[in-house]
A and B are shown apart, each in its own frame.
Chain A
Amino acid sequence: MQSRQHRRTWAAGALAAVGALTLAGCGTGFSGGSSDEGGSGGLTSSDDSLSILIGSSGDAETTAVEDAVAAWSEDSGIDAEVSVANDLPQQLSQGFAAGEPADVFYLSTDYLAGYAGNGSLLAYGDELSNADDFYPSLVQNFTYEDDFYCAPKDFSTLSLIINTRLWEEAGLTDADVPATWDELADVAGRLSTDGRVGLGIGAEYQRVGVFLAQAGGGLVNEDGTEAIASSPENLEALEYVQQLITDGSLAFAPALGAGWGGEAFGKELAAMTIEGNWITGGLSADYPDTEYTVAELPAGPAGQGTLQFTNCWGIAADSPNQEGALDLIEYLTSTASQLAFSEAFGPMPSTESAAADWTEANPELAPFLAGADYAQGMPTADGSIDVITDFNAQLETLGDADIEALLESVQSNLEAVVG
């Protein structure tokens, strides 16, 4: 009690020391966020080497990207290093918060709004020399508040994948490939047997959404300014899916004991599935004996519809060498590089000039590219990822759900983030 005053002085001193230490520590870590603003102004330029952070699907993809980057490094004389992220969003977020992000990185449409919104991204799209070559719908996907942020690196669409053997065993021929909802319901019913459903898909908007698109619905209107989740088109689409579930001809992958549609398909728990072109890699690796054909999805009341997914090459607003990064990305999105990537690990090139070459090289996968003409992208508004997560949570129990109430809740959630 008697030495309280002194203790206080000491405590204050210790606190001051701690404070000073931490401030010093922060000084290097948190370089002031506002020092170099992103946007369309001048790009930063330096001799700094580039770090590239990717979320890889496997060794094939990693090697292909590493080779391409190494080839560019040799040409440009700028060092570049590729690292593979285990959890890409988390590692990106850490980099942005610390002020030392990777210079170039994969970025999905889900996260564009969040990072663009907090100023972490450089909106360089309009400075690309090959900006006009990208599919307009992909450019739309990476446009946030009227700025074209980043170059689409490739894309995928969803198609109908059919197990050839089971198809023939059910007495079906090429002429039976479904072109309408009724035909799909019919063949799915005929393909369903004990312990197998005709159509097995993932329980998420990212798959079920194709039916919304075919009915003329979707989550947001074309320019992404209005929520249309509770539209009668969506109601019709989900009622159709619910009917298929009730008939026993459609089941979601988890209900079949599979992690995703591809697994259900490979294990022959489902005779058909709806997946993107990544399924070719998954099947050849895990179920090499499965024979399958790819068909365009059937048309609904409003015609054909599918969903497309894409990633872009993001550049950090805090990158010290944005000019180098831009040059690298122009190289990586060139027709030659994209065709090489496609050969190595299967994605579809994001540029229109590469389409003919790609179709020639992959005739059996042509339906995926055909889907590009009528595909819908994911909503890009800030917060829409949470809405979709919530929608997916409700879709899991679609079988006995009150569809109108389900869509109403999605609509009210979506209205809060769109517009």
Chain B
Amino acid sequence: MTSSTPAPGTGARVRRERTRATGLRRGDAAAGWLFTAPVIVILGVFLAVPVLMALWVSFSDWGGRGSPFSGDVDFVGFDNYTAILAGGGLAERDFGIALRNNAWYVLLVVPLQTALSLFLAVLVNRAILRGRGFFRTAFYFPSVTSSVAITVLWLFLFSATGVVNKVLAAVGIAGPNWFNDPTGVVHNLLGVIGITSGPTALTDADLLGVSLWDWLAGPSVAMSAFVLMAVFTTSGTFMLLFLAALQNLGGDVTEAAMMDGANGWQRFWRVTLPRLKPTLFTVLTLGLIGCWQVFDQIYTGTQGGPSKTTLTPAYLSYTAAFNSQDWGQGAAIAFILFLIIVAFTLIQRWILRDRPVSKRRAAAYLPKATKTTDGMTR
């Protein structure tokens, strides 16, 4: 950028050159804009303008009637945001609960679905597997089924007398009343070893109206059922991404590793996985975004219950706007959610950045006369 700033004396000449250069391509540019205009208009009407409108609503006192740009709607600054983040009332506590629920959901779903999809991809990528086509289709099938249909299926499977509990009962486990059990999984595990109430340091301090002890409650049993469902439905999609990446990897590097004596386990962790990093980034990013935006399962399944333990920011945004007519707060929640997603994506990108190989890691690859691996076949 700075290099294009002309020195004072040469300004005229540069300008003349610039006009001449663009003059040559003027027709091209016009055609270019003409051809991209439909997309720009569509994106503008359906994306940019609604987003900007929502941004305005989040800073206004619009009540849900008529245009948000009409004269009766006033700018209220950060009022909607402070009500959610520091209002001390129900709005803040609801947001805290929703954030807590969704954070646990993300924490469980993203690693599980990534690991499972990678595992499945490696499985169906093996040339010796019989019926590969069948398995690929089978694993991918949940992903192409509508999430509403799967949610309904899940409600049946996980009902108090549903199939899951029948199977658990057959092996002697009394299953929980899944979608009606608001108790936190971590709290339940602590309860098993006799801890039923937290230290006052945790119960007295609170963040967003929810005590730290409750933040640590873990996903409720109901939310855990949704976690299982998300892993079940999305791992097929991500398996496909990993599979495409795996098939793009040339066999030469793997063969070279084989020649160097790396066993299967080492080849996967030290040769294959590092080369899947771009795909890993894609899968983690898509997973994070999808998990933070979870809505349709909640809307069709539990509406935030039991005891608000499946309330998520996306669903809260919807109910705040459509049911409580707090449109400003609803929009504000949506934008806070947006910032959360951007922040997580950036953090994750920073973690997965290309780094020079550390000494400790490099050591594993260096041939060492004193430390020949035993399992090596020469």
Contact = CB atoms under 8 A, between A and B. Distances in A.
B70 A32 contact: yes
Contacts of A287: none
A413 B254 CA distance: 63
Contact of B29 (A3, A26, A97, A254): A3
Nearest to B18: A2
Interface stretch (B102-110, B278-286, B288-296, B303-311): B303-311
A96 B40 CA distance: 29
Interface string A62-83: 0000000000000000000000
A398 to B, nearest CB: 11
A6 B161 contact: no
A93 interface: yes
A164 to B, nearest CB: 26
B49 A118 contact: no
Interface stretch (B142-150, B264-272, B316-324): B316-324
Nearest to B91: A386
Contacts of A117: 63, 325
Interface in A108-134: 111, 114-115, 117-120
Interface in A372-419: 382-383, 385-387, 389-390, 393-394, 396-397, 413, 416
B308 A118 contact: no
B71 A413 contact: no
A97 B66 contact: yes
A3 B44 contact: no
Interface in B47-77: 48-49, 63-67, 69-72
B273 interface: no
The A contact surface, by secondary structure, is: helix
B336 interface: no
B160 A387 contact: no
A17 interface: yes
B125 interface: no
A3 B72 contact: no
B45 A33 contact: no
A395 to B, nearest CB: 9
Given A7-B29, A114-B324, A413-B89, A257 B71 contact: no
A93 B322 contact: yes
A33 B67 contact: yes
A387 B26 CA distance: 62
A416 B89 contact: yes
Highest count of chain A CB atoms <10 Å: which of B93, B94, B177, B305: B305
A173 interface: no
A111 B29 contact: no
Interface string B160-194: 11000000000000000100101000000000000
B37, B41, B64, B89, most chain A CB atoms within 10 A: B64
A1 interface: yes
A93 B121 CA distance: 45
B324 A386 contact: yes
Contacts of A386: 90-91, 94, 324
Among A120, A254, A317, max chain B CB count under 10 A is at A254
Contacts of A383: 90, 324
B66 A257 contact: no
Which of B33, B160, B323 has the most chain A CB within a 10 Å cutoff?
B323
A266 to B, nearest CB: 15
Given A114-B325, A254-B177, A390-B94, A93 B64 contact: yes
B17 interface: yes
Contacts of B45: 18, 21-22, 25
Contact of A30 (B26, B69, B161): B69
B263 interface: no
B65 A118 contact: yes
Interface string A1-29: 11101110010011101110110011000
A31 interface: yes
B307 A397 contact: yes
Contacts of B33: 10, 13-14
Given A3-B18, A18-B49, A34 B72 contact: yes
Contacts of A120: 64-65
Interface in B108-164: 159-161
B247 interface: no
Interface string B17-50: 1100110011001000100010011001100110
A1 B308 CA distance: 54
Contacts of B66: 30-34, 96-97, 99, 318
A114 B18 CA distance: 59
Interface in A28-48: 30-34
Contacts of B370: none
B63 A396 contact: no
A255 interface: yes
A111 B323 contact: yes
Nearest to A33: B66
Among B22, B70, B91, B180, chain A packs the most CB atoms within 10 A around the CB of B180
Given A10-B29, A17-B41, A254-B306, A93 B160 contact: no
A329 B329 CA distance: 35
A173 to B, nearest CB: 33
B4 interface: yes
A25 B42 CA distance: 12
Nearest to B43: A18
Contacts of B94: 386, 390
A13 B34 CA distance: 12
Which of A90, A120, A393 counts the most chain B CB atoms within 10 A? A393
A248 interface: no
A35 to B, nearest CB: 9
A84 B93 CA distance: 35
A166 B345 CA distance: 60
Q: A118, A317, A387: which has the most chain B beta carbons within 10 Å?
A: A118
Contacts of B17: 2
A13 B67 CA distance: 25
A387 to B, nearest CB: 7
B49 to A, nearest CB: 5
A255 B37 CA distance: 58
Nearest to A11: B33
Given A383-B324, A397-B307, A22 B44 contact: yes
Of A15, A33, A318, A416, chain B has the most CB atoms within 10 Å of the CB of: A33
B67 A93 contact: no
Contact of B48 (A18, A26, A97, A389): A18
Given A2-B17, A10-B33, A14-B33, A396 B325 contact: no
Pick the 5 closest A-B CB pairs, nearest first: A33-B66, A118-B63, A30-B67, A257-B160, A114-B325
6 contacts: A6-B22, A10-B33, A26-B69, A32-B67, A33-B65, A390-B90
Interface of A: 1-3, 5-7, 10, 13-15, 17-19, 21-22, 25-26, 30-34, 89-90, 93, 96-97, 99, 111, 114-115, 117-120, 254-257, 317-318, 382-383, 385-387, 389-390, 393-394, 396-397, 413, 416
Given A6-B26, A6-B29, A413-B90, 15 more contacts: A3-B18, A3-B21, A13-B33, A17-B41, A18-B44, A30-B66, A31-B66, A34-B71, A89-B323, A93-B321, A114-B323, A119-B65, A256-B160, A317-B65, A383-B90
